[in-house]
Amino acid sequence: MKYVEEFRDRALAEKLSAAIRAEADPARSYNFMEFCGGHTHAIFRYGVQDLVPGNVHFVHGPGCPVCILPIRRLDDAIELAERHGVILCSYGDMLRVPGSKRRSLLSVKAQGADVRMVYSTLDALDIARKNPDRQVVFLGIGFETTTPPTALAIRQAADEGLTNFSVFCNHVLTPAAIRHILDAPDIDPEEAVHLDGFLGPSHVSTVIGSRPYEFLSETYRKPVVIAGFEPLDVLQSVLMLIRQVNEGRVEVENQYARVVTREGNTKAQDLVDEIFELRPAFEWRGLGMVARSALAIRPAYAPFDAEARFDLSEKTSREVKSCECPAILRGVKKPKDCKLFGNVCTPDNPMGSCMVSSEGSCAAYWTYRRAETLAEMAKDKAMAEQAA
């Protein structure tokens, strides 16, 4: 490896950290929401919290597609694999998320359902070509980054005339979810999380560009910095946000300019438009129904739509009792506020989605802040007992 470069980068991190300390006004506090789980992961993995002063707080947002898939949709996927006997293809992170009755795609696979982990929609198409006598369903999840690959797979299947391939579409849109979070205090004052700015999604923005986030500065008067996922990216973005707050500026700035433009990848956007249309509303785990926040496959491509092809039953799905994932995904609670954290719920035995994917908040706290979190929980408990 290039050791020289690494040390240079470390030195740069120190420099950025010093700049943040110098510029952050000790008399105020800065609450920045990182929408993306990728940022949450980077913040913990590289100890970014320790490189910023104590009055700079990160509020973890709902940006992990695995975490926000509502249990009912996961139960539908399990039903496709079990009752309809399809070959269900999914990205790996999805397999261990517990659905109703704590059943996961992995546990039904162990019981004989044909669930396969794929790295790419290309692999799912291949499985369909090789198994012409079986129905193959790809579980499409993810934000705007992952949607174009799904769109291409559908178009490819249409071009090839594959009759045994379809997509169970759960693709969701980031700007709608951010809008929903900012509107939440109007709906429920209990939910008011004060936010001074946003670390904007990076890979999502490579596809849709930075323009879709301009409503945040224009309508909601919140500063935004589109931030890359490396620790230096995050630090630099925090510095840019602090400067905006200090100077009273409200803008969309782009720290991740090496890949993100204002327009994004228009070829990918056109393709997504051709294959998908907006759903009027879609349920997000934690956020509930969010208007115009997800995509469905257009009727012209109905043969490739698993929801049109298979008759999915109406079901009553149940969250695991006491799991605080929904509140954590809204940014109003932290993993330490969940009684199950670390005793009943661990990455080996997850009770909720936030503990499964490495981008989930509970998994991040478990991996990088376990001792501190457990100590805080014990302290909170003792205080509550004393008060009682």
Partner 1 sequence: MCLAIPALVTAVLADDMATVSLGGVVKTVSVALLDEVAVGDYVLLHVGYALHKISEEEAERTLAMMAEGGLLEAELDEIAGDAA
230 versus 376: smaller Cβ distance to ligand SF4: 376
Task: Give the Cα separation of 81 and 113 in Å (integer).
Answer: 6
Task: Give the Cα separation of 47 and 28 in Å (integer).
Answer: 22
Task: Give the Cα separation of 179 and 182 in Å (integer).
Answer: 5
Task: Give the Cα separation of 136 and 127 in Å (integer).
Answer: 7
- Name the minimum Å distance from CB 111 to ligand SF4: 24
38 binds partner 1, rule: CB under 8 A? yes
5 binds partner 1, rule: CB under 8 A? yes
Task: Give the Cα separation of 29 and 242 in Å (integer).
Answer: 10
260 versus 362: smaller Cβ distance to ligand SF4: 362
Task: Give the Cα separation of 165 and 264 in Å (integer).
Answer: 29
345 binds ligand SF4, rule: CB under 6 A? yes
71 binds ligand SF4, rule: CB under 6 A? no
361 binds partner 1, rule: CB under 8 A? no
Neighbouring residues of 71: CB distance < 8 A, sequence distance ≥ 6: 99, 100, 285, 317, 318, 319
From the list ligand SF4, partner 1, none, partner contacted by residue 241 (C-beta under 5 to 8 A by kind): none
67 binds ligand SF4, rule: CB under 6 A? no
231 versus 360: smaller Cβ distance to ligand SF4: 360
One residue of 48, 340, 364, 377 binding ligand SF4 per CB under 6 A: 340
One residue of 351, 359, 373, 377 binding ligand SF4 per CB under 6 A: 351
347 binds partner 1, rule: CB under 8 A? no
Q: Which residue is nearest to ligand SF4 (CB)?
A: 352
- Type of residue at 322: S
b/e per residue, 166-178, with b = 16+ CB within 10 A?
bbbbbbbbbbbbb
One residue of 216, 312, 328, 364 binding ligand SF4 per CB under 6 A: 328
Task: Give the Cα separation of 139 and 124 in Å (integer).
Answer: 10
Instruction: Name the segment binding ligand SF4 (CB under 6 A); options: 81-89, 243-251, 284-292, 337-345.
Output: 337-345
One residue of 127, 238, 354, 364 binding ligand SF4 per CB under 6 A: 354
From the list ligand SF4, partner 1, none, partner contacted by residue 1 (C-beta under 5 to 8 A by kind): partner 1
62 binds ligand SF4, rule: CB under 6 A? no
352 binds ligand SF4, rule: CB under 6 A? yes
207 binds partner 1, rule: CB under 8 A? yes
From the list ligand SF4, partner 1, none, partner contacted by residue 326 (C-beta under 5 to 8 A by kind): none
50 versus 247: smaller Cβ distance to partner 1: 50
Could you tell me the two tokens for 224? 């935004």
From the list ligand SF4, partner 1, none, partner contacted by residue 123 (C-beta under 5 to 8 A by kind): partner 1
**Are the beta carbons of 28 and 57 closer than 8 angstroms?**
no
21 versus 267: smaller Cβ distance to partner 1: 267
Size of the site for partner 1 (CB under 8 A): 50
SS3 content of the chain, % helix, strand, coil (to 5): 50, 20, 30
64 binds partner 1, rule: CB under 8 A? yes
From the list ligand SF4, partner 1, none, partner contacted by residue 345 (C-beta under 5 to 8 A by kind): ligand SF4
136 versus 329: smaller Cβ distance to ligand SF4: 329
175 binds partner 1, rule: CB under 8 A? no
Task: Give the Cα separation of 165 and 88 in Å (integer).
Answer: 10
**Are the beta carbons of 282 and 172 closer than 8 angstroms?**
yes
The DSSP code sequence of 134-180 is S-EEEEEEESTTTHHHHHHHHHHHHHHT-SSEEEEEEEB-HHHHHHH
209 binds partner 1, rule: CB under 8 A? no
230 binds partner 1, rule: CB under 8 A? yes
Q: What are phi and psi of 230, to 5 degrees?
A: -80, 155
Task: Give the Cα separation of 335 and 270 in Å (integer).
Answer: 39
Task: Give the Cα separation of 31 and 44 in Å (integer).
Answer: 16
- Name the minimum Å distance from CB 35 to partner 1: 12
Q: Which residues bind ligand SF4 (CB under 6 A)?
A: 323-325, 328, 335, 338, 340-341, 345, 351-352, 354-355, 362
